[in-house]
Amino acid sequence: MCRATLLAVVIVGAMGVLVAAQCDCAPQTPTERPSCYTAFWASEQVRFRLVVPGDYFFCCPDCEAPLVTGWRVETMAGAIVYQKTFAEVPRGHWYIMGWNQRDTWGNAVSAGFYKLVVETTSAGEFDSYIQIVPSPCCWSFCECCPQLPSYPCGIVVGQPYIKILQVERRWSARCSVTLTAHFELDCCP
């Protein structure tokens, strides 16, 4: 009985190693990592908006509501990857912006860290960081994909900030492992 359990554990473990070997994804070690960021799979739509909390007007009673005049995406080195402006008609802070992870010329950006910068009429610029991660290597016999870790930035009281709208991810449940154990107890004569 003990051998059968040990054999089952070894077989399940070996299958896990074989499945993981099919992935062939090398872990990425970024050279420069921000302290807080939100992660996205490559090719996912990055949606965000500027949030102007009510206490902003309490802290600055004479301030106007900031309007969005544009936004841009920068590399960690500061190079502009993509930029959109609303110079003639600024957008309200409730406006939801979206980036399809492509540069100005329509090419997909490489994996790594990027800075989103939102420009406003009266409150300056606000930024937030995102990480683009290569698409998951979902295994051939099932679509069990890993979770993406994110480390959201804290919010400063009385200041506008960028809210990253997370993508709703639906994981396929076509993959399952069932372990069954059968025990026989011979306690009666």
Q: What is the 3-state secondary structure (H, E, C) of 38-101?
A: EEEECCCCEEEEEECCHHHHHHCCCCCCCCEEEEEEEECCCCEEEEEECCCCCECCCCEEEECC
Percent of the chain with pLDDT over 70: 67
pLDDT band at 147 (very low <50, low <70, confident <90, very high): confident
Please state, in angstroms and rounded to a whole number, the distance separating the CA atoms of residues 108 and 84. 17
Specify the pLDDT at position 7. Answer: 64
Mean pLDDT in residue range 39-44 = 91
SS3 content of the chain, % helix, strand, coil (to 5): 15, 30, 55
- Residue 174 parent element (H or E): none
- Residue 131 parent element (H or E): strand 125-133
For 161-183, the pLDDT digits (tens) are: 999 997 766 554 445 444 544 44
State whether CATH 2.60.40.4070 applies to domain 37-135+159-165: yes
In which residue are the tokens 């399809």 written?
A: 100
CA distances from 177 to 18, 104, 174 (A): 15, 45, 10
pLDDT band at 110 (very low <50, low <70, confident <90, very high): very high
If one compares 86 and 187, the residue with the highest pLDDT of the two is 86
Please state, in angstroms and rounded to a whole number, the distance separating the CA atoms of residues 46 and 82. 13
Record the pTM: 0.69
Mean pLDDT in residue range 85-101 = 90
Specify the pLDDT at position 5. Answer: 67
Cα dihedral: 119, 58, 161, 118 (round 10): -10
If one compares 141 and 72, the residue with the highest pLDDT of the two is 72
Q: Name which of 5-19, 64-78, 146-160 the model is least confident about.
A: 5-19
